[in-house]
Amino acid sequence: MAISTSKTPVKTRTKILDVSAALFSRHGYNGTALRDIAKALDMKAGSLYYHFDSKEQIVLEVLKIGIKNIIHTVIAEVEGLPKDSTSREVMVAAAKGHLRALHEKGDYTSTSILNYGQLPDSVQEAGRVTREQYEDMWRKWLTNAQDKGDIRADVNLTILRVSILGALNRLLTWYKKGELSINDIATIQIGIFWDGIDT
């Protein structure tokens, strides 16, 4: 009995986050009100406050889950490579993981990317640690590649990192299932960058 009761709020909380992520993804943070979330859940708006203090808290949770999904998927792809993999192979694996998270984890990842600029400063600041954790992974891979001589010494790694991630994130606005596979797109996109920076 006690176990069943304790699980109910967790299930409800998860359902609220799922529905919120879908609404934020479709309509944006500014275009989604708490009453919209409550209506989609067939709940009273006031009932949401039992689980979350505000819309800002909901979107922060969605934001963190979205970024963590990307981190875990990317790490799994890169750690699945042989130890003697080239810098380019690491970049392609990371890109595959990033695109797979965007495609397969849907609403959470798209909310964390497409809505970030709309979010209140306090939410952006609270989510920055997780975002920086992810970007640090790319900084490390690119720095290692440059240190090994696989990327020219004169290439600005900050601009390169931002450009790669920006290109990958654009998948959310144009990709349609049935065209090129996620793996194909990752290989092509990294190839476009790499062919311009390879020594």
User: Which 8-state DSSP code applies to residue 48?
Assistant: G
CA-to-CA distance for 42 and 172, rounded, in angstroms?
29
Q: Is residue 32 part of a domain?
A: no
Q: Is residue 15 part of a domain?
A: no
62 pLDDT more than 60: yes
Q: Is residue 28 part of a domain?
A: no
Q: What is the mean pLDDT of residues 107-134?
A: 83
At 4 the pLDDT is 35
At 9 the pLDDT is 63
Nearest to 25 by CA among 107, 102, 101, 116: 107
Nearest to 73 by CA among 91, 108, 100: 100
Tally of domains in the chain: 1
Q: What would the pLDDT profile of 133-178 be if each residue is shown by its tens digit?
A: 999 999 999 999 999 999 999 999 999 999 999 899 888 777 777 7
Q: Is residue 143 part of a domain?
A: yes
Identity of residue 116: Y
16 pLDDT more than 80: yes
Q: Is residue 39 part of a domain?
A: no
Q: Is residue 24 part of a domain?
A: no
CATH code for the domain in which residue 155 is found: 1.10.357.10
Give the domain range for residue 147. Answer: 55-197
Q: Is residue 60 part of a domain?
A: yes
Q: Is residue 50 part of a domain?
A: no
Residues ≥6 apart with Cβ < 8 Å to 41: 15, 16, 19
Q: What is the mean pLDDT of residues 64-77?
A: 92
Nearest to 142 by CA among 82, 73, 190: 190
Nearest to 32 by CA among 118, 128, 124, 122: 118
Tokens of 135: 């970007």
CA-to-CA distance for 94 and 110, rounded, in angstroms?
18
